[in-house]
């Protein structure tokens, strides 16, 4: 993280707050960050809006309302509210269901649906239901986001290539990608592919160019693509010939924006609430509500973790802010909004201190669109499509698959199932499929059916400052909400240190492992201790700190070393230095090949040292034996795999690092 983000930089160790004092005190930081975020937001808002089937100005409406209005409702200091790529799939699905892009009835129906979803979000926050975002399993959520990324890439490829009229379901369009390249308009494809190239290389190259590194990749793309569009004279309708093939160019390849200053207000569009008489409208309202709320909650939580001052967002209040913002945006023709993570991360990296950075980014957007809309009309659609292709690629980056696999094969199965089902059906069915598969896996791992949705907890008081919660049966994503409420009530509300004992559970799943770690951070912010006990009695399903753990025997290694008794003390000391948590020594008599050559009676006094340890410790011991012992002494060493009840008894403590060098 850059130096400007340090909590001790120019703030005298204080925690910045978005009040009147903070407005003036941190003005230079927030103003600069707001401007830099504006440079990112402008093209992305236009591109996301077009990808959703809305007019391009709709994304700007949302970003302006989200930044200026919600900044004074939410207590989140660093999140940026606005349109997000994660809602593209729902938005375009809704538009298509009511008539398709360019159809004013479809647009107004979507706005009415947005109003209903916004009201649901406001009620969601008022009834303090923000914790429901904790229900969804992490692997299913990541699978959903990866699927959204793939869909965005598939949908934007033909636009980046200048192919007009490409439409269909994601898998259908994926099969047509070779055809899109064959039918590409060379001039438009040159803009699209050049823009995509710079989206990938600028984050790497820009870091080496001094002050230029402050210019975000989307703005670099605009600085390159707009002159290219002017060079191809896209503003005027004409044709050109390349390799005996005629291609058409016109304004249809440019962003449609108002043709005069303050013309944006002419594009204000109101919802058509008669669309709510159709049952399918409520399906889309529910999808906007569920997916939008979930993404917003996840983004706000992620930004809290990145906040240099560790300020904590009230999720219920933030949900009310998002709902109010969505209500106002939908009422004038805007897209749905969420707490958006990419622009929020940029806000932190740019050195923002308070919520006023979000406000300034909205003011810059308002001034830009109100005063210079004709300049924005020069932006090629292919450039915006390239930005979205890059965004989609990052959502579905190959490292996501690798990361999930390392947490556990069962997590990869949930991730891939959710992804495939979203591509083949829709978001809700895909997420539901991931949730059902996870429950099936839990039952297969021995979780009792009765504990899937109910947590079995016993609270004990250890002393005046500390309580113990004994968890029984299981600790899984589907019973985490009552578990979390108990943790908050006993620990955070009563301001007590807390110990969680999971030794009597059948399974602690991956989602709960991550959430327990998150709770530890929450307690630390309050100056409290939070300890999880009993994990060493459960077997991890993968070699990862966040892997699920189930009751059963754990696989570990046993190394047996037979050596002359004169080496006993040296070997014992070195084995402990390598990380061994203990050893067993047995005196014995024996002879190796060298002594047998002298006769069966040529025996010597020896010791048999056994160490049970994790593979890393065994490897360190073997390296020590090869390096220090076998050059001058005759020893026998063998390793075998054994099962143990409590693996934690054989792992090095934090102050005993595994090492073969001393």
- Out of 75-89, 118-132, 284-298, 575-589, least confident range: 118-132
- Out of 35-44, 200-209, 247-256, least confident range: 200-209
| Residue 89 and residue 95 in contact, taking contact as beta carbons nearer than 8 Å | no
Give the mean pLDDT of 183-195: 97
Q: Counting every residue, how long is the chain? A: 662
Judged against a pLDDT cut of 90, whether residue 241 lies above it is answered with yes
How far is Cα 603 from Cα 495, in angstroms, rounded to an integer? Answer: 67
- What are 346's two structure tokens? 């940029």
| Residue 4 and residue 357 in contact, taking contact as beta carbons nearer than 8 Å | no
Residue 150 CA from chain centroid, whole number: 15
Task: Check residue 227 and give its pLDDT.
Answer: 97
Judged against a pLDDT cut of 50, whether residue 84 lies above it is answered with yes
Judged against a pLDDT cut of 80, whether residue 595 lies above it is answered with no
CA proximity to 400, closest of 140, 143, 138, 134: 143
Task: Check residue 645 and give its pLDDT.
Answer: 74
How far is Cα 370 from Cα 229, in angstroms, rounded to an integer? Answer: 22
Q: Model confidence over 540-553: pLDDT tens digits? A: 899 898 999 998 87
How far is Cα 187 from Cα 247, in angstroms, rounded to an integer? Answer: 9
How far is Cα 274 from Cα 112, in angstroms, rounded to an integer? Answer: 8
Place of tokens 């709960």: 512
Mean model confidence pLDDT for the chain: 90
Task: Check residue 654 and give its pLDDT.
Answer: 52
Burial annotation 466-482 (CB, 10 A radius, 16+ → b, else e): bbbbbbbbbbbbbbbbe
Task: Check residue 336 and give its pLDDT.
Answer: 96
Task: Check residue 9 and give its pLDDT.
Answer: 41
Q: Within 10 Å of residue 368's Cβ, how many Cβ atoms?
A: 16
By CB atoms closer than 10 A (0-12, 13-18, 19+), residue 156 is buried
What's the distance, Cα to Cα, between the start and end of the chain in Å?
34
Judged against a pLDDT cut of 50, whether residue 10 lies above it is answered with no
Choice between 261 and 363, residue whose per-residue pLDDT is larger? 363
| Residue 143 and residue 414 in contact, taking contact as beta carbons nearer than 8 Å | yes
Task: Check residue 304 and give its pLDDT.
Answer: 86
Domains located in the chain, CATH noted: 3-395 (no CATH), 449-550 (3.30.750.24), 553-650 (3.30.70.120)
| Residue 363 and residue 371 in contact, taking contact as beta carbons nearer than 8 Å | no
By CB atoms closer than 10 A (0-12, 13-18, 19+), residue 639 is middle
Q: Model confidence over 101-155: pLDDT tens digits? A: 999 999 999 999 999 999 999 999 998 876 777 788 989 999 999 999 999 999 9
Q: What is the pTM of this model?
A: 0.82
Judged against a pLDDT cut of 50, whether residue 657 lies above it is answered with no
Which residues are 554's β-sheet partners? 644
- Out of 259-273, 327-341, 418-432, least confident range: 259-273
Task: Check residue 272 and give its pLDDT.
Answer: 96
Task: Check residue 650 and give its pLDDT.
Answer: 80
Task: Check residue 146 and give its pLDDT.
Answer: 93
- What are 157's two structure tokens? 């490829």
| Residue 497 and residue 529 in contact, taking contact as beta carbons nearer than 8 Å | yes
Confidence band for 240, pLDDT divided at 50, 70 and 90: very high
Judged against a pLDDT cut of 70, whether residue 207 lies above it is answered with yes
Q: Model confidence over 44-56: pLDDT tens digits? A: 999 999 999 999 9
Q: CB neighbours of 121 closer than 8 A, spacing ≥ 6?
A: 289, 292, 293, 319, 320, 322, 323, 326
How far is Cα 17 from Cα 10, in angstroms, rounded to an integer? Answer: 14
Please give the C-alpha separations between residue 378 and each of 260, 278, 509, 516, in angstroms, as whole numbers: 13, 39, 51, 50
Judged by DSSP in three states, 11 sits in: coil
Q: Model confidence over 509-552: pLDDT tens digits? A: 999 999 999 899 889 888 999 999 988 888 889 989 899 999 88
Judged against a pLDDT cut of 80, whether residue 656 lies above it is answered with no
CA proximity to 351, closest of 27, 19, 584: 27
Residue 435 CA from chain centroid, whole number: 18
Confidence band for 592, pLDDT divided at 50, 70 and 90: confident
Asked whether the CA dihedral 368, 370, 371, 373 is positive or negative, the reply is positive
How far is Cα 50 from Cα 56, in angstroms, rounded to an integer? Answer: 5
Give the mean pLDDT of 583-608: 80
Q: CB neighbours of 443 closer than 8 A, spacing ≥ 6?
A: 449, 452
Instruction: Tell me what percent of the residues of the chain surpass a pLDDT of 90.
Output: 69
Judged against a pLDDT cut of 70, whether residue 8 lies above it is answered with no
How far is Cα 449 from Cα 447, in angstroms, rounded to an integer? Answer: 6
By CB atoms closer than 10 A (0-12, 13-18, 19+), residue 293 is buried
């Amino acid at each position: 993280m850059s130096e400007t983000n340090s909590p001790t930089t120019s703030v005298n160790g204080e925690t910045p707050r978005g009040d009147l004092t903070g407005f003036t005190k941190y003005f230079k930081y927030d103003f600069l960050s707001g401007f830099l975020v504006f440079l990112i937001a402008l093209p992305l808002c236009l591109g996301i809006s077009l990808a959703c089937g809305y007019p391009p100005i709709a994304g700007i409406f949302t970003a302006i309302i989200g930044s200026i209005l919600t900044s004074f409702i939410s207590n989140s200091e660093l999140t940026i509210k606005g349109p997000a790529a994660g809602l593209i799939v729902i938005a375009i699905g809704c538009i298509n269901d009511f008539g398709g892009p360019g159809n004013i009835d479809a647009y107004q129906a979507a706005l009415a649906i947005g109003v209903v979803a916004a009201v649901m979000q406001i009620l969601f926050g008022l009834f303090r239901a923000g914790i429901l975002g904790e229900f969804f399993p992490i692997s299913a959520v990541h699978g959903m986001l990866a699927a959204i990324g793939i869909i965005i890439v598939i949908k934007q490829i033909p636009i980046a290539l200048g192919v007009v009229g490409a439409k269909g379901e994601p898998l259908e369009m994926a099969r047509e990608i070779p055809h899109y390249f064959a039918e590409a308009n060379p001039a438009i494809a040159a803009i699209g592919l050049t823009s995509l190239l710079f989206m990938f290389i600028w984050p790497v190259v820009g870091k080496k160019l001094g002050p230029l590194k402050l210019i975000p990749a989307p703005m670099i793309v605009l600085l390159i693509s707009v002159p290219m569009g002017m060079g191809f004279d896209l503003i005027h309708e004409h044709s050109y010939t390349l390799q005996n093939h005629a291609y058409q160019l016109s304004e249809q390849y440019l962003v449609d924006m108002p043709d005069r200053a303050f013309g944006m207000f002419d594009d204000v569009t109101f919802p058509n609430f008669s669309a709510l008489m159709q049952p399918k409208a409520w399906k889309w309202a529910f999808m906007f509500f569920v997916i939008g709320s979930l993404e917003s909650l996840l983004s706000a939580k992620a930004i809290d973790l990145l906040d240099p001052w560790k300020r904590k967002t009230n999720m219920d209040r933030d949900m009310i802010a998002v709902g109010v913002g969505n209500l106002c945006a939908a009422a004038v023709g805007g897209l749905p909004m969420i707490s958006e993570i990419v622009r929020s991360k940029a806000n932190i990296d740019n050195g923002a201190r308070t919520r006023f950075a979000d406000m300034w980014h909205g003011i810059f957007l308002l001034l830009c669109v109100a005063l210079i809309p004709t300049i924005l009309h020069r932006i090629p659609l292919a450039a915006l499509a390239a930005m979205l292709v890059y965004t989609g690629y990052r959502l579905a980056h190959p490292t996501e698959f690798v990361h999930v696999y390392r947490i556990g094969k069962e997590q990869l199965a949930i991730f891939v199932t959710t992804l495939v089902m979203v591509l083949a059906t829709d978001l809700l069915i895909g997420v539901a499929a991931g949730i059902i598969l996870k429950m099936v896996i839990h039952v297969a791992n021995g979780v009792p059916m009765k504990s899937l949705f109910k947590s079995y907890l016993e609270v004990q008081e250890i002393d005046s400052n500390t309580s113990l919660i004994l968890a029984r049966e299981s600790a899984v994503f589907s019973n985490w909400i009552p578990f979390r409420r108990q943790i908050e009530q006993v620990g955070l509300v009563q301001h007590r240190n807390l110990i969680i004992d999971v030794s009597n559970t059948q399974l602690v799943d991956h989602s709960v492992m991550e959430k327990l770690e998150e709770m530890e951070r929450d307690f630390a912010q309050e100056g409290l201790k939070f300890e999880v006990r009993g994990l060493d009695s459960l077997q991890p399903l993968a070699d990862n700190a966040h892997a699920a753990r189930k009751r059963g025997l754990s696989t570990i290694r046993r190394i047996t070393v037979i050596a002359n008794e004169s080496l006993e003390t040296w070997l014992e000391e070195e084995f402990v230095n390598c990380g061994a948590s203990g050893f067993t020594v047995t005196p014995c008599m024996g002879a190796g090949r060298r002594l047998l050559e002298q006769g069966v009676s040529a025996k010597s006094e020896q010791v048999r040292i056994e160490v049970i340890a994790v593979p890393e410790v065994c490897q360190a011991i073997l390296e020590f034996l090869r390096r220090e012992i076998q050059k001058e002494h005759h020893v026998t060493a063998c390793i075998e795999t054994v099962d143990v009840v409590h693996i934690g008894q054989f792992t090095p403590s934090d102050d005993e690092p595994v090492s073969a060098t001393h």
